[in-house]
Amino acid sequence: MSIELHCPNCRQLIRAPDDAGGKQGRCPYCKSMVYIPTPIPEDEIIPLAPIDEDSERRAEQLWDESVRYIASVDKESSKTADDDSGGARRGAAPEPPGEVVDVGAMVTKFVLAMKDSDLDEAERITTRLKRIGVRARDHVESLFLDQMPPKIKDVPPPLVKGFLKSLLERLS
């Protein structure tokens, strides 16, 4: 049996002999130093509980509801801010009346469009996010700190971060 790990530098799968556990070694692909973890004995492995599909579906529904609620609260607070300032925020085109924009869903669609190389769709989404302004930039910046939303998880994290950096540059 061997120890399997991914190189933190090049992400290639590395197989090392069991006696190499707890030591440093070189990645055979990129030659960077890699820590080889000690293998866990079979009797210490705790099996994972099966996934409860109903619980997962409910969690996704709650996520979507909370995003819609936050978007509606943001919409109401921006209306109040607009009323107080006597007009729309400077530098942002006004959102269409009555439209509640789900910024999280828009950013997710942007990442998926970029993953699929649909640059026209990504540009349309960017244009809509520019109209939202600061709220869109704040959301994108928060994604660098928070756990990624579930709909982006099929895209490798380095790719997501690259797409988000690109979006943040376009929004600035």
Per the domain annotation, does 55 fall within a domain? no
Per the domain annotation, does 104 fall within a domain? yes
pLDDT at residue 95 above 60? Answer: no
Q: Nearest CA to 100 among 126, 82, 127, 73? A: 73
> If you average pLDDT over every residue of the chain, what do you get?
80
**Contact 37/25 with Cβ under 8 angstroms?**
no
Judge if 38 and 105 occupy the same domain.
no
pLDDT at 151: 61
Per the domain annotation, does 67 fall within a domain? no
Range of the structural domain that residue 33 is part of = 2-42
In tens, the pLDDT along 151-169 reads: 676 788 788 888 888 888 8
Run of H or E residues at 142:
helix 134-145
Q: In whole angstroms, what is the distance from residue 59 CA to residue 67 CA?
A: 12
Per the domain annotation, does 110 fall within a domain? yes
In tens, the pLDDT along 28-81 reads: 999 999 999 988 777 888 888 888 999 889 988 988 888 888 877 766 665 655
pLDDT band at 108 (very low <50, low <70, confident <90, very high): confident
Would you say the C-alpha torsion 120, 122, 126, 129 has a positive or negative sign?
A: positive
CA dihedral 115, 116, 122, 124 (to 10 degrees): -160
**Contact 3/39 with Cβ under 8 angstroms?**
yes
Per the domain annotation, does 50 fall within a domain? no
In tens, the pLDDT along 120-155 reads: 999 999 998 888 888 888 888 887 776 655 567 678
pTM for the whole thing? 0.45
Run of H or E residues at 128:
helix 119-132
If DSSP codes are grouped into helix, strand and coil, which group holds residue 4? strand
pLDDT at 29: 94
**Tally of structural domains, the chain:** 2
pLDDT at residue 86 above 50? Answer: no
